[in-house]
Structure 1
Amino acid sequence: MSNLVVIAGGAAMGSSVAAHLLADPDFGGRVLVVEKDPSYRLAGSALSAASIRQQYSQAVNVRLSLHGLAFLRDPGRFLPVGEDPPALGLREGGYLYLAGTETGAGALRRNNALQRQEGAEIALLDAAALAARFPWLETGDLLLGSHGVTGEGWFDGWALLQLLRGAARRLGATFVADEVVGFRREGGRISGAVLKERGEVPCRALVDCAGSGGAALARLAGIDIPVRAKRRSVFSFSSRNPLPRCPLLIDTTGVWMRPDGEPRPEGRSFIAGWSPPAAADPDWSDDDPASREVDWELFEEVVWPALASRIPALAEIRPGRAWAGPYDMNLADHNAVIGPAPGLENFHLCNGFSGHGLQHAPGIGRGLAELIVHGRFRTLDLSALGFLRIIENRPLVEDNVI
């Protein structure tokens, strides 16, 4: 039997799986990472808003974020990063969720109990406390805010991708510019992966880290996962008015914003976006340029009005560049699908992160590596994210989706 593990997709998630596999002294195999676009021009890892939080409604996500935070603070604890690793640019500015209804405030309180139980330092602030801490914030309609005191913020997503990729290559992973287009099956196993350019290669296991193409790849193996690629537009702008201690803010409207870069004499830059309701959520396609266009009307009609209402100092801004990126949404419950596919014990799914994939890449990569090498999760128990919950219609619903 081949000792080769094929990883379809070489962005942050695929590179993390590769690096953690090869870092495990019990592995003893080879790793081939197949990436159809080595420039990562359309990869979610490169186009992400690159933020990290512990404010989730499911414990497994809090744990993955705490592991991701430890990795961002000191990646050399976990993987060989070389003598001059890229700076990950972690800024622990915090997240701030706002609630203006009793229903919203109740959800923040319930989630806060879970988050604190898992070791996250999250504070609940009433309207008066919000006004005192963030005097630039309009609080008249607010009941409660949930603020990450430490361990939440943003980082350089491109640098994380390069660090993980570099670690994998340093440990011996082979990266090829190609695409997995088929499989050879023998009973309940994948015995070979068919590459578009190189033909068939025998393999011990295959990991689907194909991002926006992950669901299509799974279908080639006869697996239907409820994951669809959606488009998210991110807008940049600058303001001359200072917003001291500005966190990543999630407004009651669902509009979010965060600082971007360091303050300059001419003002501060920010990025912002919005998570639309399901009925208005546009699809993304790597092959259709029209589906990848920035929705500029979204900024003018939704994002900026919401921000100017919540933060009067942003009534006057200077719009900047914008970009669109893929957002791999699990329509079943907004959580990732991790681990073996049904009926194919060595075909591992790694899909549908619904906006929190990049921050969880270190923990997911380590977990999948442990599953492949040892047959079980050892560092973090990710079994709650398995495909069985989809088959049995037991959704693990994540309420805090951005």
Structure 2
Amino acid sequence: MTAPRFTPPKHASYDVILIGGAMYGSSVAWWLTHLGFDGRILVVERDSSYSMCSTAHTNSCIRQQFSNEINVRISQFGADFVQNMRRHMGDDPEVPNLPIQSFGYMYLAETQAQADNLAQAQQVQADCGAGTRHMTAAEIKADYPFYNVDDIIAGNHNLIDEGYFDGGTVFDWFRKKARANGVEYVANEVVGLTLNPESTQVTGVTMATGQTVACGTVVNAAGPRAATVAAMAGIPLPVEPRKRFTFIFAAAERLDRDLPLTIDPSGVHMRSDGLYYMAGCPPDDDMAVDADDFAPDHGIWENKVWPVLAHRVPQFERIKLVNEWVGHYAYNTLDQNAILGPHPEVSNFIFVNGFSGHGLQQAPAIGRGTAEMIMHRGYRSLDLTSFHFDRIAQGAGFVEKAII
């Protein structure tokens, strides 16, 4: 492996330094410029190819099927942003509006407790204007005859603004527009943070190329490496890299309609993917891994995923694996939800971490909210204070039952 080719920043000080330049670093950077922030902004990205970041390995899905209202609202804004990106980005005719392939999520319940949770979540979603239906097994079978629902009690499904979108293009435009608006991007790695004597402010950010640059605000947008960055400021952060496996397969007998993004009670999920189908899951031993560990586990396909696919969709007994990859969740071990806002003691250290698989779909709303927090010390759109770091320090988890 060749050594990274890093470049130094152009200036000795910046008003905002974002550590990590993938979806969240670029979203926050663009929103800052879009909302009128007139300070100097630096984005530091250790992998300028972005080939190993979570953004590059995402399955690019969006859903309103959460059990907590704020998560529903965040994704509703995300759906609006994706489909009206040109308007949000100043009516630039080069910016595309992107479709959402709205085959929807299909959550399946095999126990009464699971069915009750789905019914409660559906009511929360309906109160927010989402189109989720709570369905009996017979209703599921009528709409999607290919499912085996012999062991299913109920399900939730939503065909409105829920499914797959082109997350890579959203990221490209966040980054492109941020740079066009004057944000400086450097290929470099943050190796240290300097705090003032009272440990209440980060005063300097040290690069792998040797420079220490002064900062007004530091944003931790380091994805699965977020805990390493937080530790540089003396802050413990319960975020770790965890592997997630994705498989692309062809079916000898194609289904006669789209396969919703099906959340099987086993923990395996599956969906249509153009001419093919996609499936994924966590490992059975879901533990932290090294941030550079993307080694596959071929036994997961044979022993875990394929048997579930064939059970839930009998036509998938004859399938062929076409491609596979491993990505990382930036996994919040406390409650699997975002960690946002300023640190209560190191007040200019801002978190956008711990999304645990929800990050891409939440990036438009949370990028906007984080920019608002930096500029105004408060939110002007959605109130995201439920996700603030304070709950981490108190060990008080944010309750969200719809975790994949």
Letter in 2 for 1:164: F
Distance 2:129 2:390 in 1: 28
Distance 1:379 1:395, change over 3 A: same
Distance 1:398 1:275, change over 3 A: farther
Distance 1:275 1:111 in 2: 23
Deviation at 1:87, TM superposition (A): 6.5
Aligned match of 2:288 in 279, 283, 292?
A: 283
Alignment match, 1:339? 341
Matched, 1:170 2:175: no
- Counterpart contact for 1:81–1:163, Cα < 8 Å: no
5+ residue gaps, structure 1 = 262-267
Matched, 1:192 2:204: yes
SS at match of 1:228: strand
Distance 1:23 1:71, change over 3 A: same
Alignment match, 1:40? 50
- Counterpart contact for 2:245–2:282, Cα < 8 Å: no
Matched, 1:260 2:273: yes
Deviation at 1:149, TM superposition (A): 2.3
Alignment match, 1:182? 192
Distance 1:260 1:197 in 2: 42
Give the alignment's TM-score, normalised by structure 2: 0.93
Deviates more, 1:323-332 or 1:244-253: 244-253
Post-superposition CA distance 1:216-250 (Å, at most 9, x none): 10011011011111011111101132321321111
- Counterpart contact for 1:192–1:203, Cα < 8 Å: yes
Distance 1:324 1:86, change over 3 A: farther
Distance 1:36 1:88, change over 3 A: farther
Deviation at 1:107, TM superposition (A): 0.6
Alignment match, 2:116? 106
Letter in 2 for 1:196: A
**Structure-to-structure mapping, 1:220-259, within 5 angstroms:** 220-243=232-255, 244-259=257-272
- Counterpart contact for 2:224–2:331, Cα < 8 Å: no
5+ residue gaps, structure 2 = 1-11
- Counterpart contact for 1:293–1:324, Cα < 8 Å: yes
Distance 2:400 2:282 in 1: 14
Post-superposition CA distance 1:189-231 (Å, at most 9, x none): 1122111115111111010000111111001101101111101
Distance 1:77 1:85, change over 3 A: closer
SS at match of 2:348: strand
- Counterpart contact for 1:87–1:159, Cα < 8 Å: no
Matched, 1:272 2:271: no
- Counterpart contact for 1:19–1:79, Cα < 8 Å: no
**Structure-to-structure mapping, 1:53-92, within 5 angstroms:** 53-80=63-90, 82-85=92-95, 88-92=98-102
How many pairs are equivalent?
390
% same residue:
39
Deviation at 1:325, TM superposition (A): 0.8
Post-superposition CA distance 1:350-397 (Å, at most 9, x none): 111011001101111100000000110111110000011111222113
Distance 1:198 1:121, change over 3 A: farther
Alignment match, 1:328? 330
Give the alignment's TM-score, normalised by structure 1: 0.94
Alignment match, 1:19? 30
Give RMSD over aligned pairs.
Answer: 1.6
